[in-house]
Structures are given as C-alpha cells and as structure tokens.
Copies of this chain bind each other. A is one copy, B any other.
Amino acid sequence: MYTHSKHLPADERRAVTVKTVVELAGSQNPSEITTAAIAKHMNLTQGALFRHFPNKEAIWQATMEWVAQRLLARIDRAAVGIESPLTAMQAMFMSHIEFVVEHPGVPRMMFGELQRAEPTPAKHMVRTLIQRYGERLHLLIEKGKSCGELSATLDADAAVTLFIGTIQGLVLQSLLAGEVGRIRHDAPRVFAIYQRGIGRLQ
C-alpha cells in the first residue's frame, strides 16, 4: 500500500537516502552534493539525515556499498549460463553499460572517490569493487585463452585495464555530449574494436 507518510522506518529511510544520492550524482558533480541538497531532494530536513547516519561519510559508504552490490550482481547475472567466455564478457560489458545509463552518477562517484587523497571507507569500497570486477574478468580471459577464443599471447592484465577503460571512455564521451543515452548506441561499436583486439587472429 502506498503511503504519503513522512515517517519511515530507519532502514527504509536509509535506502531512500542512498537512492537519492545516486540520483543526484547523475545530474551534478558528486563532490558538490551537500547534505542539505540530499535532504531537500527527498523532502526531509537536513538535520533528520543525521538520525540515520552518524556523518556524511557514512552516507557515501552506504551508497558505494549499494553500488558495489548491485553492479556485481548485475554483471554476474548477465554472464551466468553463457559458455563462451567472449560472449560472457560482451554480456558483462553491455549489462554494465546498461547500469551506467540507468545510473549515470555511478561511474562519476567512483572516479571521484578514487582520487581522494585520504583513505575513506567509500574509497576502500570502490577499490574492493574494482578488484572483484577484475577477478571475474581474469577468470573469463584465462578461460577464453585456453579454449582458443582469445589470443594465446594475450596480456590478461592489460586486457582487464582496457575493458574498464573502454567503459570509462564511453562515460567520458557521454559527459562531453551531455546526453547519457548516446552511450547505449556507441557501446557495441567500441566493444567490437576491443573484441577484435583480444580475440584470436583470423
């Protein structure tokens, strides 16, 4: 049942907060998102946020946890049941792109968090996320090499870096164009080049 009540249980309020941060990051510089802006966007007073989070850093941490969980779940789901490693990588790529289009603020939050000088919990969360992401890719790449789909001489580390860089490049282009939707159109074309770079020579 839908309720307009302003009173929400703590866990729901926290969930709404995280969702709000992700939304705001899609339309403005993540590092400029203030607690006041978050509160306003969810029809709450600023002070009320601190009933549910000890400080702003905790809000960021919760947000990055949400991101890590959802993104990993999404790419895992995309790759499951696909026997061809290359096809699985393509599915991972496209689902990641879909995630980014749905939540354009996510890659920007991640990049912004990584360049903080001090080691914040949120930064640690991003590191862990990318590490796990890399592990999954490494597995697929090794599998692809042994089954002959990928070049036997392929540099796996470089291939992982380029996979992530490919997405990063698309995000940059969408920032330049000012429209996120373009990324959906460009993604397959860019991945085609990547695929050619790692695939077996024909």
Contacts and interface: CB of A to CB of B under 8 A. Distances in A.
Interface of A: 27-32, 108, 111-112, 114-117, 127, 130, 151, 154-155, 157-159, 161-170, 172-173, 175-176, 186, 189-190, 192-198, 201-202
Contacts of A172: 111, 114, 164-165, 168
Contacts of A169: 161-166, 168-169
Contacts of A195: 197
A151 B202 CA distance: 13
A190 B136 CA distance: 19
A162 B114 contact: no
A175 B108 contact: no
Contact of A155 (B158, B162, B170, B192): B192
Copies in the complex: 2
A80 to B, nearest CB: 26
* A27, A115, A163, most chain B CB atoms within 10 A: A115
Contacts of A190: 158, 161-162, 165
B189 A155 contact: yes
A196 B163 CA distance: 14
B194 A157 contact: no
A162 B201 contact: no
In the A-B complex, the 3 residue pairs with the smallest Cβ-Cβ separation, listed nearest first, are A165-B169, A197-B197, A158-B189
Nearest to A188: B158
Given A130-B176, A165-B166, A202-B201, A29 B117 contact: yes
Nearest to A173: B161
B31 A158 contact: no
Given A31-B29, A170-B165, A114 B192 contact: no
Contacts of A116: 29, 32
